[in-house]
Amino acid sequence: MQVPLLDLKAQYATIKSEVDAAVADVLESQHFILGPKVERCEKAVAQYAGCAHGIGVSSGSDALLACLMAENIGRGDEVITTPYTFFATVGAIARVGATPVFVDIDPLTYNIDASKIRDKVTGRTRAIIPVHLYGQMAEMDSAMRVAEEYGRVVIEDAAHAIGAEHKGQRAGSVGHYGCSSFFPSTHLGAAGDGGMIVTNDAERAGRLRCLRAHGSEPKYYHRIIGGNFRLDAIQAAIVTAKLPYLDAWTTARQRNATQYDRLFAASDIPAVLPTVATDRHIFNQYIVRVPNRKLLQAALQRRGIGTEVYYPIPMHRQECFAYLGYGAGAFPESERAADETLAIPVHPELTTQQAEYVVDCIHEFFVTAGKTEKADRPIDETRLAREAV
């Protein structure tokens, strides 16, 4: 049996007529950059996120960059974030010349440990970027409390978490800005690069619209320096066509996650399963912590099962950030997560048979190959359980 990590072909087959019509419509109009299709997408995505304004941009990476630029954050400034994220989060901070300041993660949710943010606030701190990793919102109450107390800006990196929710608030709508990615493999993927910033602040929205078009306002007049961060109409039209399906896809992901929880619980696989700490986890990824991850991943690949390691090297250990001076052990939970976690297929099109096959293969690994190999780093489940209390 083949179980891809993601099955975009299967998804496309179910919505082909709508997506094809949306693309044809743009081709017919020959209006490719910004324009009415982008505006429609901005309204729809902002509404979905529970925000007043949406600003379509060229990618999730550029969304983060544009928000930092909109706040005039640069050299001499510090931005607090997590080291356990995709490069884009920290890359954006470094690209504007600011210094990333890391706070380790909560080992259960993999999100920034918000209780430790306050300790890292200095006179130079300008912003906090919580990342809603794997489809679950970071603990925003504490992050917002600190930000409000010190008058700092909060930029949510919601690239994994469109539609995730906690206490009635959607990912991206809690802070001053929320950044989404339409990278094809995300929950709401386009057919190329794209992204969206949502905000409830009209002034900030205006600044971002200006920034994404080289800071031009009116055309050919530049009071500020921006970039080409524009969303194109084909991507916007595809995203708009897919949006009505998003809730059903979320439900399917949640159903698959529950199914995995049940299958793992009924087995004796030594895996630590995802912790749901918020009201609506969208399961952009289903992450297990396992001993012998590398061997398991190879064994699953041989059995036709796609997996991924998000992310093998935390940001403070990346070569390009060596200048920050962090050594091994600086953020132990992020380092442990980077060593132990594995994403298994949870996409909406996953069948019950496929999920059972995945868990069967993992089980087989641990009763055969797993037992003959020394665990390179056994998981300390008692430690995790202790910390959960």
Ligand X SMILES: Cc1ncc(COP(=O)(O)O)c(C=O)c1O
The residues binding ligand X (CB under 6 A) are 59-61, 85-86, 88-89, 131, 157, 159-160, 181, 183, 193, 195
- What element of type H or E holds 54? strand 53-57
Nearer CB in complex with ligand X: 160/281? 160
C-beta of 89: minimal distance to ligand X in Å? 5
Nearer CB in complex with ligand X: 183/321? 183
C-beta of 98: minimal distance to ligand X in Å? 17
Show the tokens assigned to 343. 């994403």
Nearer CB in complex with ligand X: 59/200? 59
Residue 55, beta-bridge partner list? 197
Say how far apart CA 87 and CA 319 lie, in whole Å: 12
Nearer CB in complex with ligand X: 153/190? 190
C-beta of 61: minimal distance to ligand X in Å? 3
Nearer CB in complex with ligand X: 34/131? 131
C-beta of 376: minimal distance to ligand X in Å? 26
Positive/negative CA dihedral, 135, 138, 141, 147: negative
- What element of type H or E holds 169? strand 169-170
DSSP 193-204: --EEEEES-HHH
Positive/negative CA dihedral, 291, 293, 298, 301: positive
Using an 8 Å Cβ cutoff, are 308 and 254 in contact?
Answer: no
Q: Which residue is nearest to ligand X (CB)?
A: 60
Nearer CB in complex with ligand X: 56/370? 56
Per-residue DSSP letter, 349 = T
Say how far apart CA 378 and CA 270 lie, in whole Å: 9
C-beta of 267: minimal distance to ligand X in Å? 30
C-beta of 60: minimal distance to ligand X in Å? 3
